[in-house]
Amino acid sequence: MSLNAGALAKKMLAAALPILTTHAVDAEAFASVEFKKIADTIVSIQIMLQAGQINNQQAELLLEMQKSASRSVLLTLKGLSLLTAEEAINAALAVVRAVVNTALKFPLIP
Partner 1 sequence: MKPLPARRVVAKATRALIFTLAGLLLCAALFTACTPKFIGDYDATIDSGVTDIQQRTEVYLGKIKQDPSTLYDPNFYNDINARLVALKTRAHILPQYPIIEQQIQELQGQFDRLQTLDKGMTRPFPIGAIDAAESAITVSVESILKLELALKRGDKNAPSLK
Q: How far is the CB of 74 from partner 1 (least distance, A)?
A: 9
3-state secondary structure of 79: helix
> Please, are residues 42 and 63 in contact by the beta-carbon 8 Å criterion?
yes
Return the amino acid letter for 100: V
Binding flag, residue 98, partner 1 (CB under 8 A): no
Residues 62-81, one symbol each (x = binds partner 1 by CB under 8 A, - = not), give x-xxx-xx-xxx-xxxxxxx
Binding flag, residue 99, partner 1 (CB under 8 A): no
> Please, are residues 62 and 54 in contact by the beta-carbon 8 Å criterion?
yes
Output the CA–CA distances (angstroms, integers) from residue 35 to 8, 72, 73, 78, 107, in the order listed: 40, 11, 8, 15, 46
Q: Which is nearer to partner 1, 66 or 99 (by Cβ)? A: 66
> Please, are residues 77 and 27 in contact by the beta-carbon 8 Å criterion?
yes
Residues 2-31, one symbol each (x = binds partner 1 by CB under 8 A, - = not), give ----------x---x---x--xx--xxxxx
Residues making contact with partner 1 (CB under 8 A): 12, 16, 20, 23-24, 27-35, 37-38, 40-41, 44-45, 47-48, 53-54, 57-58, 61-62, 64-66, 68-69, 71-73, 75-90, 92-93, 108-110
